[in-house]
Amino acid sequence: MASLLDLTSQGDVATITDDAYLNRTLQLMEPQQLYELWERQQWQSQAIDLERDKEQWAELSEEDKEEHLWGLSSFFVGEERVTTQFSGLVMAYEDEQEEAFLTTQQVDEARHMQFFDRWFREVAGIDGGIQERLAASRSDVTDAFVELFDERLVKMGERLIADPSDMDAKVAFITNYHMVIEGTLALTGQHFMLDYYETNDLLPGFAEGFANIARDEHRHVAYGTWFLQQKCAEDGYRECVQETLNDLLPLAAGVLVPKGYAIGDDYEFFGYTSQQQAEFAYSALSRRLKVIGVGLPTASAA
Ligand SMILES: [Fe+2]
Ligand SMILES: [Fe+2]
């Protein structure tokens, strides 16, 4: 019988192609297996060759540069947020295997942030330290981004730090972090941006690092799906997942809307329509929720 790793990318059920597998009895990869997968998938953010990126960047018009930076900035700042707001979840581990996996995820997020920082320094040429580069990138993020990452995520992390044994706080945090931020937002943007850069043979160093990041993100989301499937088999947690999604998905829908547009408008994101982007996000989230055993709140919210 095929293993989940044969059927999916990194155990993430959103990449499953046969809908017959998508139900609550699907046996997911456990933290120990995901930890071992991490050990086999190391990469170095400082070693990726960025020379062609520098050459190509120098040839781009100022307008093109601004468009690329707009898309990349949300990811750079997002990686900083998910790195520095993760400790509460590590504190909330329930056994040694889960603790081991969670520490790998925290290192991954730091590596992602480091990769973006290096790219913004060496290719985009933004001087100073990481804080200066993050501050420059912050001028590109939307109000919805600020509310989701600086307010909701931070508060949910603080709630977990105040009491790591608060299971409602852990379920809400993972619903936001793994289902909304990583699963619905990051992996959707990564899918279209990677396709764009690879198809156009543009910024190959960035694309190599970003593909490694996407591989890590699928592994992270696989953990979040496993955790929520376990908890939603018990009474009381399905409502918590549902309420958190109801609350946050409308906000998430506004995170990648370009300046001058509103949610529901038609616009293009790296050569794809906002409709294609929304459909991809919706289908990925609904596949994961089927396996977790929770209904999708509303189709329009994704
Ligand atoms: Fe990340
Ligand atoms: Fe992640």
Question: What pLDDT is recorded for position 63?
Answer: 92
Q: Are 218 and 15 in contact (CB under 8 A)?
A: yes
Rounded to the nearest angstrom, the distance between the alpha carbon of 204 and the centre of ligand 1 is 19
Rounded to the nearest angstrom, the distance between the alpha carbon of 220 and the centre of ligand 2 is 5
Residues near ion ligand 1 (CB < 5 Å) are 79, 109, 112
Instruction: Record the pTM.
Output: 0.95
Give strand pairing partners of 273: 268
- Which residues of the chain have a pLDDT value below 70? 1, 298-302
- Counting ligands in written order, the one closest to the CA of 109 is 1
Question: What pLDDT is recorded for position 301?
Answer: 42
Question: What pLDDT is recorded for position 298?
Answer: 60
Rounded to the nearest angstrom, the distance between the alpha carbon of 109 and the centre of ligand 1 is 4
Query: Please, is 139 exposed, middle or buried when counting C-beta atoms within 10 Å of its C-beta (0-12, 13-18, 19+)?
Result: exposed
Q: Are 112 and 79 in contact (CB under 8 A)?
A: yes
DSSP secondary structure of 248-267: HHHHHTTTTPPTT--TT---
Mean of per-residue pLDDT scores for the chain: 94
Question: What pLDDT is recorded for position 1?
Answer: 60
Rounded to the nearest angstrom, the distance between the alpha carbon of 84 and the centre of ligand 2 is 12
In this structure, the dihedral spanned by the alpha carbons of residues 125, 126, 128 and 133, taken in order and rounded to 10 degrees, is: -140
Rounded to the nearest angstrom, the distance between the alpha carbon of 108 and the centre of ligand 2 is 7
Rounded to the nearest angstrom, the distance between the alpha carbon of 109 and the centre of ligand 2 is 6
Question: What pLDDT is recorded for position 21?
Answer: 85
Residue 21's nearest CA partner among 36, 49, 2, 42 is: 2
In this structure, the dihedral spanned by the alpha carbons of residues 211, 213, 214 and 220, taken in order and rounded to 10 degrees, is: 160
Rounded to the nearest angstrom, the distance between the alpha carbon of 235 and the centre of ligand 1 is 31
Q: Are 77 and 138 in contact (CB under 8 A)?
A: yes
pLDDT by residue (tens digit) across 171-191?
A: 999 999 999 999 999 999 999
